Structure 1
Amino acid sequence: MLTMKNVIREGHPALRKRAEEVVIPPSPEDQQTLKEMMEFLLHSQEPETAEKYDLRPGVGLAAPQINVSKRMIAVRVTDHNDELIDIGLYNPKIISHSIETTYLENGEGCLSVDRDVPGIVPRYSRIKVEGVSHEGETVRMRLKGLPAIVFQHEIDHLNGIMFYDRIEEDDPYKQPLPPNEIIKRNDFDGPFT
């Protein structure tokens, strides 16, 4: 079982490397890693389990965050219809995106960052993601709102990008160029990855 001890923190070189493609079909080792990443998110969102194992709540996790430099992400988040998106993907990529931008009103967080980093993190409002599911099927997903933000955050990790790299250094609260929308996350106030 993965715990916070398995999550590397900012400053670790693996977080700044571009992760390698996963060979498809994935090896048993890669399958096990992705399964454990998905289980980590589930456990982190169950209050009793999270408290027992001292887990910070997360809605996403990328393999580089557990020091595995491969293109794998796990996401467990509800969409605007309160439907759960619970998926692990190999080699995810954004294949199209909106012109419109969005951001989280209270900023983004990260399991690999043990400090608050205030500021606006601009993201695309809508994206289409393609990848290979844990079950080995090629999937395409249209995402908007919070799920779109989470997937962009995770895919950034695969490219060695931290969320705060996207914050305007000279003006952290600089509004993205319109049109944009603000996402309030009242239902889940935890970090992403």
Structure 2
Amino acid sequence: MRLYHWVRSYLQYIKRKIQPPSCPPYNHVCQVGDPVLRSQAADVDPATISSPEVQGVIKTMVKVMRRLECVGLSAPQVGVPLRIVALEYPVKMMEESSPASREARGLSVQPLRIFVNPTLRVLDGRTVLFQEACESISGFSATVPRYLSVEVSGLNENAEPVSWQVSGWPARIIQHEMDHLDGLLYLDRMDSKTFINIKWQTHNE
């Protein structure tokens, strides 16, 4: 074990000599343990939304989200503690779900949506339980309660005011991403008895 860590540290040292460490926004998703995931994200000055810096963060978020085929991402997940979230549920994902799953979870195709400085208002206070995963807790999943229907308001990538009333699975996605802006992970809301390694079955084969 000690030899492994020594070799790994040495390889990392050599790598850093050849290639300097990357800087946010990252082209990967930060993993649980990274302090950025537990920090309170800062508001974005609306006057800076059109700046190359903020637009670069948004473009990176969308690129990473699509590459990993996930349905939502927050700026803290790419290492930037700003209040920005992205969401998208493409037709391809919908087609991969069974009709029964679509109905049970309230799935619907959603175009790309960007919210800067979003605020959330609960429209239906009833909660529903479904298994939920997160790219920042890679390889795991748990049952998490979420409100049935919410409204999110903020600014889009063009600094224009936007508001969206949504229910079903998209409402779950936006609540999950909004939590990231306040340093919360689904671990903080989950039923701990349902926490699983997604590939637990393969370990028995």
- TM-score normalized with structure 2 length: 0.69
Structure with more of its chain in helix, by fraction: 2
1:71 aligned to 2:87? no
Between the aligned partners of 2:46 and 2:129, the Cα distance in structure 1 is 34
- TM-score normalized with structure 1 length: 0.73
Between the aligned partners of 1:32 and 1:84, the Cα distance in structure 2 is 23
1:113 aligned to 2:125? no
> 1:82 offset after TM fit, Å?
4.0
Code of the aligned partner of 2:80: V
RMSD: 2.3
1:144 aligned to 2:156? no
> For residue 103 of structure 1, what is the aligned residue in structure 2?
129
List per-residue Cα deviations over 1:18-44 (Å, max 9, x = no partner).
1000000223201221122123323x2
Between the aligned partners of 2:120 and 2:109, the Cα distance in structure 1 is 21
Between the aligned partners of 2:170 and 2:134, the Cα distance in structure 1 is 15
List per-residue Cα deviations over 1:83-118 (Å, max 9, x = no partner).
3231111111103331111232xx111111123233
Give the match's secondary structure for 1:19: coil
Give the match's secondary structure for 1:58: coil
Superposition pairs of residues 1-193 of structure 1, within 5 angstroms: 6-25=28-47, 26=49, 27-42=51-66, 44=67, 56-77=68-89, 82-104=108-130, 107-118=131-142, 120-169=143-192, 171-172=193-194
Between the aligned partners of 2:59 and 2:115, the Cα distance in structure 1 is 10
Between the aligned partners of 1:29 and 1:70, the Cα distance in structure 2 is 12
The one of the two structures with greater contact order (alpha-carbon pairs below 8 A, sep at least 6) is 1
Larger radius of gyration: 2
> 1:3 offset after TM fit, Å?
10
Q: Is the 8 A contact 1:38 1:88 kept in 2?
A: no
Give the match's secondary structure for 1:14: helix
> What 5-or-longer segments of structure 2 have no aligned partner?
1-23, 95-105, 196-205
> What 5-or-longer segments of structure 1 have no aligned partner?
45-55, 174-193
Between the aligned partners of 2:159 and 2:27, the Cα distance in structure 1 is 29
Structure 1: which 4+ aligned runs deviate by more than 3 Å? Answer: 2-5, 78-83
